[in-house]
């Protein structure tokens, strides 16, 4: 297999997830913003058409309702997550609760194996994905670059895969771009979304240049010095990265090759005497 696959027929096609065409390839998380007003402005500035949300025990009466009201004021699709779930059962129950509350079959499926790395439990993830698909959910699994797990998730009925760039909230970008590129080439027809670990717009652009269909990020915008402007920056980077991919990047070379024509170089003969 030629891992440096340059032909890509997806030029200028909109992002489509589970049959839903979307105008933006930036999926945005809603957590950790300094205020609801900043969150509201950042979502608007991002142009994102999909936002992630969660379910949590209510600590202050009415707090959940206020966020819910804001959420419904946006023109976005809601993607509830099962963040914090450590077993398939927890994730399945959380997904069921989310489906009723948010009135959507979409679920960002997280089954977490380790509290420090928040890395996916691939075994539990596949088990939960299969059961949720059977229950009619449209699953967005948060996974790794593992091709075996990816195969199993697709066999279980997932139509989208969301491999991490780096552990959640680390901002380290694409920790293993080779593996991500391999994954992209291995599943050419599957919508792939890099989810987690993005820190800078250049990271998001890199993911898009590799051919990924979208990027999902939260902390990189929410914890930026100016989240609203950073949301704009990410939107621009993702658009640029996608355009670059569709345009066909040049192949990297080991040795220098002059970009200025050699013919007609002045003093050329003098230098060789």
Partner 1 sequence: MTEQTISTAAVRAQETTASTPAEVTLIVNGAPTPSSCATLAELLIALEFDGTAVATAVNGDFVPAADRTGHRLAPGDNVEILSPRQGG
| Residues engaged in binding partner 1 (CB under 8 A) | 29-33, 39, 52-58, 61-65, 67-68, 71, 80-81, 83, 89-90, 93-94, 96-98, 100-102, 168-169, 218-219
Q: How far is CA 190 from CA 37, 186, 215, in A?
A: 36, 9, 14
- Shortest distance, position 178 Cβ to partner 1, whole Å: 26
Q: What residues contact 235, with CB distance under 8 A and at least 6 apart?
A: 24, 26, 45, 46, 47, 48
Give the residue with the Cβ less far from partner 1, 96 or 239: 96
Q: Cα angle at 95 between 89 and 96, to 5 degrees?
A: 90
Question: Which residue lies nearer to partner 1 by CB, 90 or 159?
Answer: 90
Q: In the bound complex, what is the minimum distance in angstroms from residue 64's beta carbon to partner 1? A: 3
Shortest CB 233 distance to partner 1, Å: 18
Tell me whether residue 98 or residue 231 sits nearer to partner 1 (CB atom): 98
Q: Rank residues 5 and 58 by Cβ distance to partner 1 and give the closer one.
A: 58
Q: Which is nearer to partner 1, 78 or 209 (CB)?
A: 78
Return the beta strands (E) in 98-249 as ranges: 106-109, 138-143, 162-163, 193-195, 214-217
Q: How far is the CB of 96 from partner 1 (least distance, A)?
A: 4
- Return the exposure string of 231-243: e unless at least 16 CB atoms fall within 10 Å of the residue's CB, then b: bbbbbebbbbbbe
Q: In whole angstroms, how close is the CB of 216 to partner 1 at the nearest point?
A: 8
User: What is the rounded CA–CA span in Å between residue 233 and residue 235?
Assistant: 5
CA distance 38 to 48: 15
DSSP 192: B
Residues 6+ apart with CB under 8 A from 221: 28, 29, 42, 46, 227, 230, 231, 234
Nearer to partner 1, 79 or 208 (CB): 79
Told to judge if 108 belongs to the known catalytic residues of this protein, a careful annotator would answer: yes
Closest approach of Cβ 240 to partner 1, in Å? Answer: 24
Give the side-chain half-sphere CA count within 13 A for 194: 31
Active-site position among 6, 89, 108, 223: 108
Q: Residue 45, Cα to own-chain centre: how many angstroms?
A: 18
* Token pair 């914890």: residue: 223
Structure tokens at 251: 């192949």
Question: What residues act catalytically?
Answer: 108
């Amino acid at each position: 297999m030629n891992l440096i696959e340059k032909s890509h027929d997806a030029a200028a096609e909109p992002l489509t997830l589970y049959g839903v065409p979307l105008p933006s390839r930036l999926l945005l998380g809603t957590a950790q913003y300094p205020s609801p007003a900043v969150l509201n402005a950042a979502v608007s500035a991002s142009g994102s058409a999909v936002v992630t949300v969660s379910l949590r025990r209510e600590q202050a009466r009415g707090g959940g309702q206020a966020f819910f009201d804001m959420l419904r004021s946006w023109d976005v699709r809601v993607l509830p997550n099962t963040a914090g779930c450590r077993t398939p059962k927890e994730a399945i129950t959380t997904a069921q609760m989310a489906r009723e509350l948010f009135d959507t079959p979409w679920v960002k499926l997280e089954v977490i194996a380790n509290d420090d790395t928040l890395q996916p439990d691939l075994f539990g993830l596949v088990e939960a994905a299969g059961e949720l698909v059977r229950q009619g959910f449209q699953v967005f699994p948060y996974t790794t670059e593992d091709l075996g797990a990816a195969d199993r998730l697709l066999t279980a009925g997932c139509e989208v895969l969301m491999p991490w760039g780096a552990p959640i909230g680390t901002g380290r970008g694409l920790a293993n771009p080779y593996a991500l590129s391999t994954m992209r080439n291995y599943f050419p027809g599957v919508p792939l979304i890099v989810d987690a670990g993005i820190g800078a717009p250049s990271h998001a652009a890199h993911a898009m240049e590799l051919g990924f269909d979208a990027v999902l990020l939260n902390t990189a915008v929410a914890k930026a010095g100016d989240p609203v402007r950073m949301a704009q920056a990410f939107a621009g980077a993702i658009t640029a990265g996608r355009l670059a991919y569709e345009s066909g990047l040049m192949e990297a070379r080991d040795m220098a090759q002059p970009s200025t024509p050699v013919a007609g170089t002045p003093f050329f003969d003098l230098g060789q005497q």
